[in-house]
Chains A and B, each alone.
Chain A
Amino acid sequence: MNENTFVIDGTPIPFEPGQSILQAALKADVFIPHLCFFPGLKPNGSCKLCTVVVNGRPGSACTLLARPGIEVENNTPELNDRRRLMLQMLFVEGNHFCPGCEKSGNCQLQALAYELEMMTPHFNHFFPSRKVDASHPEAFLDMNRCIMCGLCVQASRDVDKKNIFAISGRGMASHIVINTPSGRLKESNFSSSDKAANVCPVGAILPKRRGFATPIGQRRYDSLPISTQTEFLTTRKA
């Protein structure tokens, strides 16, 4: 086996030093489910969907570095059961009404639910009462759909250098806040061309007035399942 190679589910995966297990896997066209990883942003391991078993110990594939010779379990019934369970918890924790959501078909959460064959939410819905912020002329924020991945926080802080979004509260009360006196996006210097405007994996941050302009059949995950779109997932840019 090559020095810079490791194994996922029996398949040798080449990697470059410094790559995470997730990055190397996607590059080698091996899909590991994930929500909070976005190319170009520092992995933070918050969603836990990419949890794999490395040499017998579970860990986040997005934060664990690839190392020569490690053996990684990924696409196993046990891990996929856990991932499905996490998706179900994400669905019931927020208000995810796919039938009326314009992100439908382009939504990573929805695509993963299809991929992992989540047939029902299983748990009782929380039906939380969360804020909608339509004050900005270019963007619509619907926190009912937020999954707390933290990508908008990172992108705004590390790439846009605007620091508009932050996570406030603890545990179940954690939520995204806007860094303005009124807490409304209108007063910020947010722009629809910001990285933060374009990294949301769900329909929580959306450009205004685009809606359902893309026909059914031509949306990102309409024709091909997310597991076959590894090239897109590694090369996408906000």
Chain B
Amino acid sequence: MFELENAKATQGLRRIAIDPVSRVEGHGKVTLLLDEQNKIHQVRLHIVEFRGFEVFIKGRPFWEVPVTVQRLCGICPVSHSLAACKAMDIIVGAKQLTPTAEKLRRLMHYGQILQSHAVHFYHLASPDLLLGFDSEVAQRNIVGVAAQHPEIAKQGILLRKYGQEVIHLVSGKRIHGTGAIPGGVNKALTAAERDELQKNLPQLIEWMQGGIQVMQRFYESNTAFHNSFGLFDSNMMGMVREDGALDLYHGYLCAKDAQGKPIFNRLNYENYTQVLREEVKPWSYMKFPYIAELGPEKGWYKVGPLARVQTCDFIPSPLAEAARKTLLAIGNGQPVHSTLSYHWARLIEALHALELIQSLLEDPDLLGKELVLSGQRQEEGVGVIEAPRGVLIHHYKVNEDDQVSMCNLIVSTTHNNQAMNSAIRSVAMQHLDRRVISEGLLNHIECAIRAYDPCLSCATHALGKMPLLVELIDAEGQRLSSLARNSNGECRADFSLG
């Protein structure tokens, strides 16, 4: 049981809800339970959306899956499409793609990383960082940023637009295209399309370096706040290639503890079930994954930009690697765990994506003709990719009639579930405990969630396994009755799941 997850007694406590959490993808809420002195007794991030993809995908033909599951998200559909396609590559016996197919998929993926990170930093997070966590709420948005920092807002919009254009030219649409198919891709770039994408790249790289400087200046002006805000130690997980370099498209899973020591290293992701488990809790539709050997209390971890730049040994592009070294230096030899450093790491990855796009666009393979491979048909496939928000796992079984018979998705934001809860509990104790609660202080909680760039609509996949607790509480907070369903589906009245 984590501190502040469950109040010892709820009677007489006041409830404050932040509903919905704003400027994140999807729908979630935060609840706080406080006593008369505003001492905080309970803090929870609830995910209130319900999807069910893992169930309704059953029975569908496997070649349809990458297109269907990408509808999980309007921000990172490319990631879902690619993770599903990587699993289906195995199903069709094409574990190794043609150079053209793999490079086009990588190009699309880097476009996705760039556009998603740009949306998050410039549109969603920058209002807090540039205008202030407790600035005037009516101005604390992208329109307010555009009014006060028009150049930064414009750069953010154009950086995102470029990422979207990369996706469009590879997959046919900016959102929910069909470029990647089991065994490869359905089209290559034309020379004209490549030339179009090469325009203005140096300018975009310069802007992204400017974005990193914005974050760096924020750190330098608010060092103590930055270092302590939402601070907690945790394990970290990310994907690297064989030589330890950050690889966002394909590689091995690595996990490190809070001090940076390896927990597991170079794990073939097809064996993810050997190291990861998922816990369900009655108050959220989102599961709580953990590293099996450490258990649910100590085995939770964070993923995404801040975890990735520290689980890898280096970033294989020069400008991003230099920026990574600058970020890591603030840890004085220890891993960086400050929540706001997620923004910084995210921008470094966006710069890395731009450098990779630049390099790929010089590769003649992008215009190649060999697009699809197939081999011996398999029954089971796992596809893992580093989505913008972290490790994304798609796992399918396909029957002899080509229908999906099993689907398990562990989505990036799900990995960060405990980390986000820990972050908001840390912020609640630092900034809200025993104080008069204001909108600005509540925004501090949202800022902690926002740093993880959660996609809550992607992350709700507990269908059929979800324990639920329904309580009837009177005006004084006295529990009158309750009905609980445990994870086996058994229901009991007046039964507390704790």
Q: Which residues of A contact B (CB under 8 A)?
A: 99-102, 132, 134-135, 140, 208-218
A134-B61, A213-B372 given; 9 more Cβ-contact pairs under 8 Å: A100-B64, A100-B71, A134-B59, A134-B402, A140-B61, A140-B402, A209-B92, A212-B178, A217-B172
Q: B372 to chain A: which residues have CB within 8 Å?
A: 213
A86 vs chain B, min Cβ distance (A): 27
Cα distance A217–B177 when bound, in Å?
11
Name B81's closest neighbour in chain A (CB-CB).
A212
A172 vs chain B, min Cβ distance (A): 24
B192 vs chain A, min Cβ distance (A): 14
A200 vs chain B, min Cβ distance (A): 15
**In this complex, which of B64, B182, B403 has the most chain A Cβ atoms within 10 angstroms of its Cβ?**
B64
9 closest A-B pairs by beta carbon, nearest first, are: A216-B172, A211-B63, A100-B68, A134-B401, A215-B187, A212-B178, A215-B186, A134-B403, A212-B181
**Contact indicator B401/A214 (Cβ below 8 Å):** no
A-B contact pairs, 19 of them (CB 8 A): A99-B68, A99-B71, A99-B176, A102-B67, A134-B61, A134-B401, A134-B403, A140-B61, A140-B402, A209-B63, A209-B402, A210-B63, A211-B182, A212-B63, A212-B186, A213-B181, A214-B186, A216-B177, A218-B187
Q: B402 to chain A: which residues have CB within 8 Å?
A: 134, 140, 208-209
Cα distance A99–B178 when bound, in Å?
10
Q: B182 to chain A: which residues have CB within 8 Å?
A: 211
Q: A212 to chain B: which residues have CB within 8 Å?
A: 63, 66-67, 178, 181, 186
Cα distance A134–B173 when bound, in Å?
29
Q: Mask for B163-179, Cβ within 8 A of A = 1, else 0?
A: 00000000111001111
Q: A209 to chain B: which residues have CB within 8 Å?
A: 63, 92, 402
A194 vs chain B, min Cβ distance (A): 19
Cα distance A212–B176 when bound, in Å?
12
Cα distance A29–B179 when bound, in Å?
34
Q: A140 to chain B: which residues have CB within 8 Å?
A: 61, 402
Cα distance A204–B435 when bound, in Å?
62
Cα distance A217–B168 when bound, in Å?
11
With known contacts A99-B71, A132-B59, A211–B64 Cβ distance under 8 A: yes
Cα distance A208–B60 when bound, in Å?
12
Contact of A135 among B63, B171, B401 (CB under 8 A): B401
Name B170's closest neighbour in chain A (CB-CB).
A215
A190 vs chain B, min Cβ distance (A): 14
Majority DSSP secondary structure for residues of B touching A: loop
**Contact indicator A216/B173 (Cβ below 8 Å):** yes
Cα distance A210–B61 when bound, in Å?
11
**Contact indicator B171/A216 (Cβ below 8 Å):** yes
Name B182's closest neighbour in chain A (CB-CB).
A211
Cα distance A102–B173 when bound, in Å?
15
Majority DSSP secondary structure for residues of A touching B: loop
Cα distance A217–B189 when bound, in Å?
13
A106 vs chain B, min Cβ distance (A): 12
Cα distance A213–B402 when bound, in Å?
17
Q: A132 to chain B: which residues have CB within 8 Å?
A: 59-60, 403
Cα distance A218–B178 when bound, in Å?
12
B187 vs chain A, min Cβ distance (A): 4
With known contacts A134-B401, A216-B177, A102–B63 Cβ distance under 8 A: yes
Q: A101 to chain B: which residues have CB within 8 Å?
A: 64
Q: B71 to chain A: which residues have CB within 8 Å?
A: 99-100
B409 vs chain A, min Cβ distance (A): 16
Cα distance A36–B173 when bound, in Å?
31
B33 vs chain A, min Cβ distance (A): 40
Q: A211 to chain B: which residues have CB within 8 Å?
A: 61, 63-64, 67, 181-182
Cα distance A11–B129 when bound, in Å?
66
Cα distance A99–B416 when bound, in Å?
29
Cα distance A211–B176 when bound, in Å?
15
Cα distance A99–B176 when bound, in Å?
8
Cα distance A217–B59 when bound, in Å?
29
Cα distance A168–B75 when bound, in Å?
44
Cα distance A216–B174 when bound, in Å?
11
Cα distance A218–B172 when bound, in Å?
10
A134 vs chain B, min Cβ distance (A): 4
Q: Which of B381-418 contact A (CB under 8 A)?
A: 401-403
Q: A102 to chain B: which residues have CB within 8 Å?
A: 63-64, 67
Cα distance A132–B404 when bound, in Å?
12
Name A136's closest neighbour in chain B (CB-CB).
B401
Q: B403 to chain A: which residues have CB within 8 Å?
A: 132, 134
Cα distance A212–B173 when bound, in Å?
13
Cα distance A222–B59 when bound, in Å?
29
Q: Mask for B236-254, Cβ within 8 A of A = 1, else 0?
A: 0000000000000000000
Contact of B178 among A135, A208, A216 (CB under 8 A): A216
Name B59's closest neighbour in chain A (CB-CB).
A132
A25 vs chain B, min Cβ distance (A): 33
**Contact indicator A213/B67 (Cβ below 8 Å):** no
Q: Which of B49-105 contact A (CB under 8 A)?
A: 59-61, 63-64, 66-68, 71, 92
Cα distance A227–B259 when bound, in Å?
66
Q: B176 to chain A: which residues have CB within 8 Å?
A: 99
**Contact indicator A213/B186 (Cβ below 8 Å):** yes
Q: A135 to chain B: which residues have CB within 8 Å?
A: 401
Cα distance A209–B401 when bound, in Å?
11
Name B181's closest neighbour in chain A (CB-CB).
A212
**In this complex, which of B71, B178, B403 has the most chain A Cβ atoms within 10 angstroms of its Cβ?**
B178
A4 vs chain B, min Cβ distance (A): 45
Cα distance A99–B179 when bound, in Å?
14
Q: A218 to chain B: which residues have CB within 8 Å?
A: 187
Name B179's closest neighbour in chain A (CB-CB).
A215
A95 vs chain B, min Cβ distance (A): 11
Cα distance A100–B68 when bound, in Å?
5
**Contact indicator A215/B68 (Cβ below 8 Å):** no
Name B176's closest neighbour in chain A (CB-CB).
A99
Name A210's closest neighbour in chain B (CB-CB).
B63
Cα distance A101–B61 when bound, in Å?
11
Name A217's closest neighbour in chain B (CB-CB).
B172
Cα distance A215–B63 when bound, in Å?
14
B252 vs chain A, min Cβ distance (A): 29
Cα distance A211–B178 when bound, in Å?
10
B52 vs chain A, min Cβ distance (A): 14
A42 vs chain B, min Cβ distance (A): 32
B59 vs chain A, min Cβ distance (A): 6
Cα distance A216–B59 when bound, in Å?
25
Q: B64 to chain A: which residues have CB within 8 Å?
A: 100-102, 211
